[in-house]
Every structure is written in structure tokens, then in C-alpha cells.
């Protein structure tokens, strides 16, 4: 049985094994029922916070409040998934380029440059712009500061000079917004959580003569978390004396705030301890009631990533 527990872990409970079924013959019904052992997976309940830190919360019934996302457009773009970021990035540049190229083509068309461009003594607004593709190439050369020298703006076109200034300002704004958004998204250390691991389960046992809830946290990378601090929240539903039902009440678990044990030097796996004393939310719970209660322990680890200098908050649950 112990070998099966080591192999399958705590997500399974041992009910019967084939090796023990041969000894069931000749035994009473009660003994056979006690020795029937099969591996039956326990029913897993939905977590409020997954192991990877993702919160299983969906916002509904927002109605007209969705317009608030547009008021903070930069943060909204950063929070989008990568495929939508790349789509918006390509779409914005494509639309802006086609719009500005159309403006140069309209100027050339209204001035008659498309028909008079080959006249020897005629000075067009933009030299060597005969159609829309040539106007598009002129815009790309000026916007990307390539400057081949074949197409250029002349001083006989004041509207072209104004459009050129507008193009420079618009291009700077678009570059600052989109490139800044992509840079912020790439610099987010979200994947750092993949190399910081919490225990699958927490345990309760005696330590230093006190009943203690314990779990472990470890760092898989050689780079450290600077100024790492850990906090624990107990999420459970409760009813107030006034009759109000709180579906997700958050209670703080003391993991060493007064002694400084919550400040971690995470160079090796550490055991985080919560003493179950009179101030603990688990003080009035027995072993049977703890198994029947529906609650979740959320662990929050905050620190600065040593390699990037970015602050990071990592979340997980250790039920």
C-alpha cells in the first residue's frame, strides 16, 4: 500500500490491489470489504487560485461598465493575450501606412502630378510619384528614414510640407504607443512563477511543541528573489452574526509577521509555518471538521527578480 501511495500520490486513495485480492478467499464479508483495494481518483474541486497563479474568476453583468476598459487603453492592451497584441500591432501599422499613402496620392492627384510627372519643366509636389504604389513607397521611405533619394518632396508644395509634419508627429505617437506596449508586455516576469514551486498539499503536525500548519516553497533558478516576503490568506465562506453570508471571506494567516519569518532568503526550499494557536482560524476546528470544511489557503509571494529588477507577485494554493 505504501508503494502505491508513493507512486500515485495523495490525489488517489487506495481501495484494492490485485496482490491482496488472492487472499480474500476464505474470509468473511466484513474482512473482504476491509481488504478490497482499488485505485479510485478523488473528486477534485475547483480551486479559487490555480497552482500557476491564475485566478478562476470571471466578471459578469458588467453592462455599460465595459467602456471603462477603453479609458485605460494602454493597460488593456498590455493585459491582452499575445496573439491579440500582435494582431493589433500589425493592423494599426497597416491602416496608418495605407491612410498616409492615400493622403500623398490624393495630393498628387488633385495637383495633376500623376499626368504631368513626365513633363520636363514641371515641378511636382513629390518627384517620381506616378500612382498609388509609388506614393506608398515614398511614404515608407520617409517614415522609415530610408531615403533612397529617388522620390523626394519639393518646396513648391505647401500642403505636402504640412502633411509631412503631420506624418512625422503621427508616426512618433504610434511608435511610442505600440512599441512601448510591446516592451512592457515582454518585460513582465510572468513566467518567473514557473520556477517557483509551492507544496501540493499542506500538513499539520507538531513542531517545537506546537500544533503547526506547514508547507514548502522552493526556487528552481540560481537567480534569487530579492526582498522576498510571503503572506497567506484563508478563503472560506462564513455567515456574520447579523445574518450576512460572505461567500469568499479572506482571513490572514500568521506566518511569522511578528518574528520576521515572513521575510525569506530563498536560496533553498523553505518550510513555511503557521502556528495553530488561539488566534488562528483553525483553532476551533477538529480533524473531521477540517476534512469536511470547504476552504482554500492562498499563498502570495512578493519580491524583486534579481536578473531584471522588476517586482513580481506570485500566487498559488496549497490545500
- Write b or e for each residue in 8-24: b if 16 or more Cβ atoms lie within 10 A of its Cβ, otherwise e: eeeeeebeeeeeeeeee
**Three-class DSSP category at 206:** strand
Q: Is the pLDDT of residue 124 over 90?
A: no
Give the pLDDT of residue 95.
93
| pLDDT more than 70, % of the chain | 78
Can you give the pTM of this predicted structure?
0.60
On the 0-12 / 13-18 / 19+ scale of CB atoms within 10 A, 26 is exposed
Are 139 and 153 in contact, with CB atoms under 8 Å apart? Answer: no
- pLDDT tens per residue across span 256-287: 888 888 888 888 889 999 999 888 888 888 87
Please give the Cα distance from 232 to 298 (Å, whole number). Answer: 6
- The stretches of 132-190 forming alpha helices (DSSP H) are 132-143, 158-187
Query: Is the model more confident about 2 or about 207?
Result: 207
Please give the Cα distance from 251 to 235 (Å, whole number). Answer: 7
Cell numbers given for 56: 478562476
Cell numbers given for 198: 509551492
- pLDDT tens per residue across span 40-87: 444 556 676 776 667 767 666 666 666 777 777 888 888 888 899 999
Q: Is the pLDDT of residue 6 over 80?
A: no
Q: Is the pLDDT of residue 33 over 80?
A: no
Domains in the chain, CATH or no CATH each: 82-187 (1.10.287.70), 193-318 (2.60.40.1400)
Please give the Cα distance from 117 to 134 (Å, whole number). Answer: 12
- Model confidence at 291, pLDDT cuts 50, 70, 90, reads confident
Query: Is the model more confident about 36 or about 169?
Result: 169
Q: Is the pLDDT of residue 235 over 90?
A: no
**Three-class DSSP category at 181:** helix
Amino acid at each position: 500500500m505504501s508503494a502505491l501511495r508513493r507512486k500515485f500520490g495523495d490525489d488517489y486513495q487506495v481501495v484494492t490491489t490485485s496482490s491482496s485480492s488472492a487472499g480474500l478467499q476464505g474470509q468473511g464479508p466484513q474482512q473482504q470489504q476491509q481488504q478490497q483495494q482499488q485505485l479510485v481518483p478523488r473528486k477534485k474541486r475547483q480551486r479559487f487560485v490555480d497552482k500557476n497563479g491564475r485566478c478562476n474568476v470571471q466578471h459578469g453583468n458588467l453592462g455599460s461598465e465595459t467602456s471603462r476598459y477603453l479609458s485605460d487603453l494602454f493597460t488593456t492592451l498590455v493585459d491582452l493575450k499575445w496573439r491579440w497584441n500582435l494582431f493589433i500591432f500589425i493592423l494599426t501599422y497597416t491602416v496608418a501606412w495605407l491612410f498616409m499613402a492615400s493622403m500623398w496620392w490624393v495630393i498628387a492627384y488633385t495637383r495633376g502630378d500623376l499626368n504631368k510627372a513626365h513633363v520636363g519643366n514641371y515641378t511636382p509636389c513629390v518627384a517620381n510619384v506616378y500612382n498609388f504604389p509609388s506614393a506608398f513607397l515614398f511614404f515608407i521611405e520617409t517614415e522609415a528614414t530610408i531615403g533612397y533619394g529617388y522620390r523626394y518632396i519639393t518646396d513648391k508644395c505647401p500642403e505636402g510640407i504640412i502633411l509631412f509634419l503631420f506624418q512625422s508627429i503621427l508616426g512618433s505617437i504610434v511608435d511610442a504607443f505600440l512599441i512601448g506596449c510591446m516592451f512592457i508586455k515582454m518585460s513582465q516576469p510572468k513566467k518567473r512563477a514557473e520556477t517557483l514551486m509551492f507544496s501540493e498539499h499542506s500538513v499539520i503536525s507538531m513542531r517545537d511543541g506546537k500544533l503547526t500548519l506547514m508547507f514548502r516553497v522552493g526556487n528552481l533558478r540560481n537567480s534569487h528573489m530579492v526582498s522576498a516576503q510571503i503572506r497567506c490568506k484563508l478563503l472560506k465562506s462564513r455567515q456574520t452574526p447579523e445574518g450576512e453570508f460572505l461567500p469568499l471571506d479572506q482571513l490572514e494567516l500568521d506566518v511569522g509577521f511578528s518574528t520576521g519569518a515572513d521575510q525569506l532568503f530563498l536560496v533553498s526550499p523553505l518550510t513555511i509555518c503557521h502556528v495553530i494557536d488561539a488566534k488562528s482560524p483553525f483553532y476551533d476546528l477538529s480533524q473531521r471538521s477540517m476534512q469536511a470544511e470547504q476552504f482554500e489557503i492562498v499563498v502570495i509571494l512578493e519580491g524583486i527578480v534579481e536578473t531584471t529588477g522588476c517586482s513580481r507577485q506570485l500566487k498559488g494554493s496549497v490545500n
